[in-house]
Amino acid sequence: FTGPAGDRRRFLDRLVLAVDPHHGQRANSYEKAMRGRNRLLVDNSRDSAWFDAIESQMAETGIAIAAARVEMVRLLNAMIDRLPSNGPFPQADIALDGLLEAGIGHQAAVDLEERFRHDLASGRERDRAAGRTLDGPHRSDLRV
């Protein structure tokens, strides 16, 4: 795959939607919360209660999105492994690059949510300077 990481994420998310119809709703919820957080950052808001509420929603939906993507990549790799090695195309190795995805399967989802929530809260000033949220499943990339 060439082109922007966003195109690869959208492609993967469409595959996830085929097996998990709630994935789209989670992705929309995450995007809406992230837009709200970004607005607070740009407006230089210091309302920690509002940030906390938005970041909790982002953590919950973000980890669910990451977990669904990791599962889809696992399924794709399992299908690729079953293909004959002497086929006309080289074997592909698919992986996800992302902080959240790296923890899936190694830590409990609730612990990952808490860590992501903490990372969002502690990164507010950095994100405020950037004018946007710098970490999360919206920054993950599909490697082929």
Of 37, 61, 50, 36, which is closest to residue 113 (Cα–Cα)? Answer: 61
Q: What is the pTM of this model?
A: 0.93
Q: Which amino acid belongs to residue 57?
A: Q
Helix (H) or strand (E) holding 95, with range, is strand 95-97
The larger pLDDT score, comparing residue 82 to residue 61, is at: 61
pLDDT tens for 95-117 read: 999 999 999 999 999 999 999 99
